C-alpha cells in the first residue's frame, strides 16, 4: 500500500501526440454536444467531462482490448477513449437507432458490448459492483483480464463503494478502481461529504494498493494506470487510483453552478490537461502549429460526419417500443 505521487519519469509513454489528439477529440465532441443541446437536437440530461479528459485517455491507454470498462453517467470521454466510434456515440446522443445503445441509453447509458464497454450508469456507485462481478467471473474462468471502473468522488459516500473495495481486496480480484475526484458531487464539495478527503488513503484502509495521481496530466495518468494494470493483471489484487481532477463546466446543463467560486474554476483552468500537454510538446519540438491544426481538422471532419449521420439516422420504430424487455424467441 503506498500513497505517493507517481514519478512521471517512471516509464516513458510513447505516442504523446496521440494522447493529445484523443483528449482534443473528446473536448471538441463535447463542445459540439453542448451546442446541439442548446439547439434541442440532444435532449434529456447532459453531463460534460470538459477538464477531465486526461483521466479517460490515460486510463484507457493502459487497458488492452480484452479488459472490461464500466463507466458513469459522465461517460462520453470514457466511451470515445475506449474506441466506441464517434458516429455511434453521437447517434446515441441524438437518441437514434444507429446509436451504440440503439438510442435507448442516451448520453448517460452509452454501451458497447463488443468493446467490453459495460456502460454508462446513471446511478451513482451503481457500476462498481458490476466491475467486481466481471472480475470475479474472469477469476472463476481462469482468464487474466482486468476490469476497470470509473466513478466519482460522490460514489465514495455510497455503501456499494465500501462493499466493493472490501470484497475485491478480500478475494484479491483483478479490479482497477478509478476514482475521478473532481472535488464536487453536484453541488456538494468533497470536504462537506467526507471526513477523510484523502480518498487514496481511505481506499488503502480496505487493504488494497492505492495512490493519488495528478489527473490533469495525461502522462502521469497513463503511467500510473500502466503500473496499476500490470500489478492487477499479474494477480497482485485490486488497485485504486485517485485521479485528482476538476470539471470546468457545471455538473449538467441544468446546473447554475453557484456552489464554486469563479476563481477556483479559473485556477484549475490554468492546468487544462490539453493546453498543458500541447505546450510541453511544442517546447520539446514534438508538435508544430501545422501538426496541431492538422489534428484539429481531422477531428472536425470526423465530428461533422458524425453529426450529419446522426441527423439523418432513423429513430427506433414505435412498433419496437415494447421489445427487449424480455428475451425474445427467434422470430
Ligand X SMILES: Cc1ncc(C[n+]2csc(CCOP(=O)(O)OP(=O)(O)O)c2C)c(N)n1
182 binds ligand X (CB under 6 A): yes
- Of 59, 51, 76, give the one whose Cα is nearest residue 246: 51
Instruction: Classify burial at 104, counting beta carbons within 10 Å of its beta carbon; exposed 0-12, middle 13-18, buried 19 or more.
Output: middle
311 binds other proteins (CB under 8 A): no
Contact window for ligand X (CB under 6 A) among 95-103, 183-191, 194-202, 314-322: 183-191
Query: Considering only residues 87-126, where is the footprint of ligand X by CB under 6 A?
Result: 122-124
Cβ pair 237, 28 in contact under 8 A: no
154 binds ligand X (CB under 6 A): yes
Binding-residue pattern over the window 146 to 165 for other proteins, x denoting contact by CB under 8 A: --------xx-xxx------
Cβ pair 106, 36 in contact under 8 A: no
Binding-residue pattern over the window 232 to 261 for ligand X, x denoting contact by CB under 6 A: -------------------x----------
Query: Considering only residues 196-235, where is the footprint of other proteins by CB under 8 A?
Result: none
- DSSP string of 159-199, one letter each residue: HHHHHHHHHHHHTT--EEEEEEE-SEETTEEHHHH-S---H
Query: What span, in angstroms and rounded, lies between the C-alpha atoms of 190 and 13?
Result: 32
Tell me the number of residues near other proteins by CB under 8 A: 38
Give the Å distances, CA to CA, from 236 to 3, 151, 162, 232. Answer: 17, 22, 20, 5
Which 3 state secondary structure label does DSSP give 243? strand
Cell numbers 434541442: residue: 40
> Which one of 51, 105, 212, 273 is in contact with other proteins (CB under 8 A)?
105
23 binds other proteins (CB under 8 A): no
Cβ pair 49, 246 in contact under 8 A: no
186 binds ligand X (CB under 6 A): yes
Query: What span, in angstroms and rounded, lies between the C-alpha atoms of 72 and 74?
Result: 5
| Nearest approach, Cβ of residue 45 and ligand X (Å) | 9
74 binds, among other proteins, Mg ion, ligand X, none (CB under 5 to 8 A by kind): ligand X
| Nearest approach, Cβ of residue 255 and Mg ion (Å) | 12
Query: Considering only residues 107-146, where is the footprint of other proteins by CB under 8 A?
Result: 108-109, 122-124
Contact set with other proteins (CB under 8 A): 43-45, 94-96, 103-106, 108-109, 122-124, 154-155, 157-159, 185-188, 192-194, 254-255, 258-259, 315-316, 318-319, 321-322, 325
Contact set with Mg ion (CB under 5 A): 152-153, 182, 185
Amino acid at each position: 500500500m503506498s500513497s505517493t505521487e507517481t514519478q512521471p519519469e517512471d516509464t516513458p509513454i510513447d505516442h504523446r501526440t496521440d494522447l493529445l489528439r484523443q483528449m482534443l477529440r473528446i473536448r471538441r465532441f463535447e463542445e459540439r454536444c453542448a451546442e446541439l443541446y442548446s439547439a434541442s437536437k440532444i435532449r434529456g440530461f447532459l453531463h460534460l467531462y470538459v477538464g477531465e479528459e486526461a483521466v479517460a485517455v490515460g486510463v484507457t491507454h493502459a487497458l488492452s482490448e480484452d479488459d472490461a470498462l464500466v463507466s458513469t453517467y459522465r461517460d462520453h470521454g470514457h466511451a470515445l477513449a475506449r474506441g466506441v466510434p464517434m458516429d455511434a456515440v453521437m447517434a446515441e446522443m441524438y437518441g437514434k437507432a444507429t446509436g451504440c445503445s440503439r438510442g435507448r441509453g442516451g448520453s448517460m447509458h452509452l454501451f458497447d458490448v463488443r468493446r467490453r464497454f459495460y456502460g454508462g450508469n446513471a446511478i451513482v456507485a451503481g457500476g462498481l459492483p458490476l466491475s467486481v462481478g466481471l472480475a470475479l467471473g474472469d477469476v472463476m474462468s481462469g482468464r487474466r483480464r482486468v476490469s476497470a471502473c470509473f466513478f466519482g468522488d460522490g460514489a465514495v459516500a455510497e455503501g456499494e463503494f465500501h462493499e466493493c473495495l472490501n470484497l475485491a481486496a478480500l478475494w484479491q480480484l483483478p479490479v482497477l478502481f478509478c476514482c475521478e475526484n473532481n472535488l464536487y458531487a453536484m453541488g456538494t464539495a468533497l470536504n462537506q461529504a467526507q471526513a477523510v478527503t484523502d480518498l487514496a488513503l481511505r481506499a488503502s484502509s480496505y487493504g488494497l494498493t492505492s495512490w493519488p495521481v495528478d489527473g490533469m496530466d495525461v502522462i502521469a495518468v497513463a503511467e500510473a494506470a500502466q503500473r496499476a494494470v500490470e500489478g492487477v493483471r499479474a494477480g497482485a489484487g485490486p488497485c485504486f487510483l485517485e485521479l485528482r481532477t476538476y470539471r470546468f463546466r457545471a455538473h449538467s446543463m441544468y446546473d447554475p453552478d453557484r456552489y464554486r467560486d469563479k476563481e477556483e474554476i479559473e485556477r484549475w483552468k490554468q492546468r487544462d490537461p490539453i493546453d498543458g500537454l500541447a505546450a510541453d510538446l511544442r517546447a520539446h519540438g514534438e508538435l508544430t502549429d501545422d501538426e496541431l491544426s492538422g489534428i484539429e481538422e481531422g477531428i472536425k471532419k470526423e465530428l461533422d460526419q458524425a453529426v450529419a449521420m446522426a441527423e439523418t439516422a432513423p429513430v427506433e420504430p414505435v412498433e419496437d417500443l415494447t421489445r427487449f424487455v424480455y428475451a425474445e424467441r427467434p422470430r
